[in-house]
A and B are shown apart, each in its own frame.
Chain A
Amino acid sequence: MGELVSTLITVVLVITVMLAVFVGVNLLVDQAPKRFRVFATGAGALLGAVAGAVANSGGWFLGGPLWPLGGAVVGALLGAFVWARHPPPPDRAWRIPDRTRPVIFLAPALFFLTITLVAPTIRTIYLSFRDKRSEETAGLENYRSLFGDRTVFTVEGWRDILTSRLFVIAVGIVVVAVVLVVVRARLERRSIDFTGPAPSGSLTVAAILAVLAGVSALTGVVWNNVFWLVLVTGFATLLGLAVAVLADRSKGESVAKSLIFMPMAISFVGASVIWRFVFAFTPAGKDQIGLLNAFWVGGGGAPQDWIRQVPWNNLFLIAIMIWIQTGFAMVVLSAAIKGVPSELIEAARVDGASEVATFWRVTLPQIRTTIAVVVTTLMITVLKVFDIVQVMTGGNNDTDVIANRMFSEVFVNRDNGRGSALAVLLFVVVLPLMVINVRRLQTEERS
């Protein structure tokens, strides 16, 4: 309780000081056109204080805090008697408030952003080229050792994909889909078109199966992130879209949507705990306390320790994030679907299109940009996954991901070099997505 109270007091103090400084500096700048001497004195004091602090930033001289203070006094005097002697002409004077105002308004934000985001990012990149304790340079050694580490990245096992059942079935589906489409096109004298709901659907299923084949065969931190990326983004978007569409034409829409959206409100840690109980494992012979095992055993299987089963344990962790993020996709896509002008739907209806066709060929294209937004945002979120893996498995049993691995390198191995390298890797992967989002922002701003 004491901590909370002192924090609240700190907050009030910080805000009051900030506002006081803000109002004060604004008032000061407002004096420039009419009372230049006042402005010069105040500005002199400010600049003097900064100069004083800088002058002693090397700690060379004694009397630390006196330096900014002394600087302020000197600056004020200089301002009042030297600077004020040469006031700018009236029209220039009016410009002073206008020119300095943006700086005043932006300074706090830029200060915080530099300290917590910009400078650290640059420093991390720098650290990735230095050794464990950041004392000596290490060149590309950190990166080399990371990519040489087979727990981080390796392609061995790719051959197993080709022979896995899932992959064979996937290929089979693709072949059947292609044949059907081509045959149909020939018979009905239409162009070869893979964009219809059926071909797209079956190709998607095939793709999912192929990815699952990959899950079973490929190991390593990097591949795990890839699987997370593809499966969470794909399923969350698809399910979100499905729920958005279903809810749109059902009773109790808002209740249903609230319930599906709810997991977004709780922490990843809380969600992990919830699913811990779902995946709980008790050895055979005793009652199952986990929901999944209860169904599994009830269906005649032997109880499984789901989150330790290599390689499918990844899927169960991935399921947790799908559970959480579907609500996000649903909310955004639902808004987009409702934003499609009803005249378009009605026109399609009048033109004779079925429900499915209307959705596929009218609604979906209209919400394409929104889907892109959802997908990129999900991808950025998924790439950073840490909490779930950390809490459920700690990264063991081949469930490790980049963010988690970075954490271990820094806090367990105490290796700043490799840790920074992993952070940079994560950043580099997220960067293109960031660029896409920013580009979209720019086009939005223009329109």
Chain B
Amino acid sequence: MSTTVTPTTAPLPEAATGAAPTRGRGVGTRLHGLLGAVPTGVLWILVLLWTLPSLGLFVSSFRSETAVKTTGWWTVVTDPQLTLESYRGVFSSSTSDAPDMWQHFMNSAAIAIPATVIPIAIAAFAAYAFAWMDFPGRHWLFVATVAMLAVPFQMSLIPLLQLYVNGAHLTVFGETFTLLPDLDLQGTITAVWLTHIGFGLPLAIFLLHNYMASLPRDVFEAARIDGADHPTIFWRLVIPLSVPALAAFAIFQFLWVWNDYLVARTFLSIGSTDAPMTVRLATLSGSRGQDWHLLTAAAFVSIAVPLAVFFALQRYFVRGLLAGSVKG
């Protein structure tokens, strides 16, 4: 039995083709267009709300001291009197309690760089071991490591203070054993970034493990047959292939440490010249309004680097965020 298909030319009803009756077309589509614009409108109102505060700060930082203390920043629209005096003041180190932001900027960098670079190395090894080596207790050790993500710094604060001051000792049966010698780290930047390394490890291990575990197994087997052992596979295969994850973590960790206040405040005394910008900014903010004009510029200097990193590398930051959305 053969079938042939004959093209039909039966007319289809107008409604089925979706063609609107010509008469109502104008009003209908215009209304639809308007309604479609509502979401966009609401969105941009929200966006405006969101950016106003930052905009205010930005504008204020270019106004004179008197201007900042007496009128709102929006008056800039009618009476712009822009100046760089706040920025100049913020970088001055003339008096002992001058903001001296440049020094603190260097301090922030001196804390953030080690705290970003070193955990990458340590965590990469550990993540590889968890992902591609087999050993007893692997699963539970990994779970425990990642679970530490949620431990708040408060739980380590006091003991770490004591550790950096005294070292760690264990007294058993009247005899004291030194587990870790007293390196006299209290009040130093080293204490700060050492702590950040420890607290950054769970996230690093989690992120890197996620990524490494998704690499195809047979590529590793091929490497083993080609004669590679674990360290070789690690250097030549896993690390090159894990660059996106390494980058995502690096950006995430860098911003986190750069923006940190609590850890720095804990280990460095409040007036310390070693303090990062967040601590200096907080101190400045506590003043009763005498230095408010400086506060604007200081705040902007402190957020300049994170903003730059954010806008330049947003993609990686978002990726780190999405993958590490377990971090608190």
A contact set with B: CB distance below 8 Å: 1, 3-4, 7-8, 10-11, 14-15, 18-19, 22-23, 26, 30, 57-59, 97, 99, 101-102, 104-106, 108-110, 112-113, 115-121, 123-124, 127, 239, 242-243, 245-247, 249-252, 256, 258-263, 265-270, 272-278, 286-291, 294, 323, 326, 328, 331-332, 335, 373-374, 377, 380-381, 383-384, 386-387, 390-391, 394, 403, 406-407, 410, 416, 419-420, 422-424, 426-427, 430-431, 433-435, 437-438, 441-442
Give 1 or 0 for each of B273-316: 1 = CB within 8 Å of chain A CB: 01000100110011000000001101100110011011100100
**A115, B180: Cβ atoms closer than 8 Å:** yes
Q: Which of B244-258 contact A (CB under 8 A)?
A: 255, 258
How far in angstroms is the closest Cβ of chain B from A130?
11
Cβ–Cβ < 8 Å partners of A8 in chain B: 110, 113
**B321, A1: Cβ atoms closer than 8 Å:** no
Q: A113 contacts which of B155, B159, B202, B299 (Cβ < 8 Å)?
A: B202
Q: Given contacts A273-B295, A419-B158, is CB(A3)–CB(B189) below 8 Å? A: yes
Q: Is B43 an interface residue (CB 8 A)?
A: yes
Give 1 or 0 for each of B22-48: 1 = CB within 8 Å of chain A CB: 000000000000001001101110110
Q: A437 contacts which of B114, B285, B326 (Cβ < 8 Å)?
A: B326
A-B contact sample (12 more), CB < 8 A, given A124-B155, A265-B317, A328-B325? A4-B110, A101-B230, A109-B126, A109-B145, A113-B198, A117-B148, A117-B151, A256-B43, A256-B44, A267-B302, A419-B157, A427-B155
Cβ–Cβ < 8 Å partners of A420 in chain B: 158
**A268, B310: Cβ atoms closer than 8 Å:** no
Q: B261 contacts which of A4, A127, A268, A431 (Cβ < 8 Å)?
A: A268
A434 vs B151: C-alpha distance in the bound complex, in angstroms?
A: 8
User: What interface size band does chain B fall in?
Assistant: 35 or more
**B152, A427: Cβ atoms closer than 8 Å:** yes
**A331, B122: Cβ atoms closer than 8 Å:** no
**B154, A259: Cβ atoms closer than 8 Å:** no
Q: Which of B4-12, B49-57, B77-85, B88-96 contacts A (4 or more CB under 8 A)?
A: B49-57
Q: A263 contacts which of B54, B113, B117, B298 (Cβ < 8 Å)?
A: B54
How far in angstroms is the closest Cβ of chain B from A341?
18
Q: B160 contacts which of A99, A120, A416 (Cβ < 8 Å)?
A: A120
Q: Is B107 an interface residue (CB 8 A)?
A: yes
**A267, B159: Cβ atoms closer than 8 Å:** no
**A249, B72: Cβ atoms closer than 8 Å:** no
**B149, A437: Cβ atoms closer than 8 Å:** yes
Ranked nearest first, the 7 interchain pairs of A and B with the lowest CB-CB distance are: A116-B198, A380-B328, A267-B259, A120-B156, A265-B310, A109-B126, A120-B159
Q: A273 contacts which of B51, B114, B150, B281 (Cβ < 8 Å)?
A: B281
Cβ–Cβ < 8 Å partners of B222 in chain A: none
Cβ–Cβ < 8 Å partners of A106 in chain B: 125-126, 129-130, 141
Q: Given contacts A113-B202, A258-B314, A266-B307, is CB(A332)–CB(B325) below 8 Å? A: yes
**A250, B261: Cβ atoms closer than 8 Å:** no
Cβ–Cβ < 8 Å partners of B285 in chain A: 269, 272-273, 276, 391
Give 1 or 0 for each of B142-175: 1 = CB within 8 Å of chain A CB: 0101111111111111111101000010000001
**B176, A58: Cβ atoms closer than 8 Å:** yes
A7 vs B168: C-alpha distance in the bound complex, in angstroms?
A: 24
A288 vs B72: C-alpha distance in the bound complex, in angstroms?
A: 6
Cβ–Cβ < 8 Å partners of A386 in chain B: 261-262
**A270, B278: Cβ atoms closer than 8 Å:** yes
Q: Given contacts A3-B106, A117-B199, is CB(A323)–CB(B53) below 8 Å? A: yes
Cβ–Cβ < 8 Å partners of A99 in chain B: 135
Give 1 or 0 for each of B60-86: 1 = CB within 8 Å of chain A CB: 100000001111111000000000000
Q: Nearest chain-A residue to B289 (Cβ)?
A: A280
Q: Given contacts A106-B129, A250-B39, A251-B40, is CB(A11)–CB(B157) below 8 Å? A: no
29 residue pairs of the A-B complex, CB under 8 angstroms, read A4-B106, A15-B118, A26-B231, A57-B178, A101-B129, A106-B129, A108-B126, A112-B201, A120-B157, A120-B163, A124-B154, A124-B156, A124-B158, A246-B39, A246-B42, A258-B311, A263-B50, A265-B307, A267-B261, A267-B302, A269-B261, A270-B281, A286-B70, A291-B53, A377-B325, A424-B155, A427-B155, A430-B151, A437-B147
A34 vs B205: C-alpha distance in the bound complex, in angstroms?
A: 33
How far in angstroms is the closest Cβ of chain A from B127?
9
Task: Tell me whether chain B's interface is mostly helix, strand or loop, or mixed.
Answer: helix
Cβ–Cβ < 8 Å partners of B261 in chain A: 267-269, 386-387, 390-391
Among B114, B129, B150, B201, chain A packs the most CB atoms within 10 A around the CB of: B150
**A381, B328: Cβ atoms closer than 8 Å:** yes
A367 vs B12: C-alpha distance in the bound complex, in angstroms?
A: 40
Q: Which of B222-247 contact A (CB under 8 A)?
A: 229-231
How far in angstroms is the closest Cβ of chain B from A36?
17
Q: Is B87 an interface residue (CB 8 A)?
A: no
Cβ–Cβ < 8 Å partners of B328 in chain A: 377, 380-381, 383-384, 430, 433
**B129, A266: Cβ atoms closer than 8 Å:** no
How far in angstroms is the closest Cβ of chain A from B37?
9
How far in angstroms is the closest Cβ of chain A from B300?
8
Q: Nearest chain-B residue to A320 (Cβ)?
A: B53
A410 vs B54: C-alpha distance in the bound complex, in angstroms?
A: 34
Cβ–Cβ < 8 Å partners of B231 in chain A: 23, 26, 101
Cβ–Cβ < 8 Å partners of B46 in chain A: 239, 242-243, 246, 260
Q: Which of B108-138 contact A (CB under 8 A)?
A: 109-111, 113-114, 117-118, 121-123, 125-126, 128-130, 133, 135, 138
A387 vs B263: C-alpha distance in the bound complex, in angstroms?
A: 11
Cβ–Cβ < 8 Å partners of A108 in chain B: 121-122, 125-126
How far in angstroms is the closest Cβ of chain B from A349?
13
Cβ–Cβ < 8 Å partners of B121 in chain A: 15, 18-19, 108
Cβ–Cβ < 8 Å partners of B47 in chain A: 256, 259-260
Q: Nearest chain-A residue to B75 (Cβ)?
A: A287
How far in angstroms is the closest Cβ of chain B from A78?
24
**B143, A442: Cβ atoms closer than 8 Å:** yes
How far in angstroms is the closest Cβ of chain A from B36?
8
Give 1 or 0 for each of B190-231: 1 = CB within 8 Å of chain A CB: 100111011101100100000000000000000000000111
A259 vs B307: C-alpha distance in the bound complex, in angstroms?
A: 11
Q: Nearest chain-B residue to A335 (Cβ)?
A: B322
Q: Given contacts A58-B178, A416-B158, is CB(A374)–CB(B295) below 8 Å? A: no
Q: Given contacts A14-B114, A332-B321, A384-B328, is CB(A422)–CB(B154) below 8 Å? A: yes
A272 vs B51: C-alpha distance in the bound complex, in angstroms?
A: 14
Q: Nearest chain-B residue to A64 (Cβ)?
A: B181
How far in angstroms is the closest Cβ of chain A from B295?
6
Cβ–Cβ < 8 Å partners of A277 in chain B: 53, 56-57, 60, 73, 296
A59 vs B194: C-alpha distance in the bound complex, in angstroms?
A: 26
Cβ–Cβ < 8 Å partners of B122 in chain A: 18, 108-109, 112
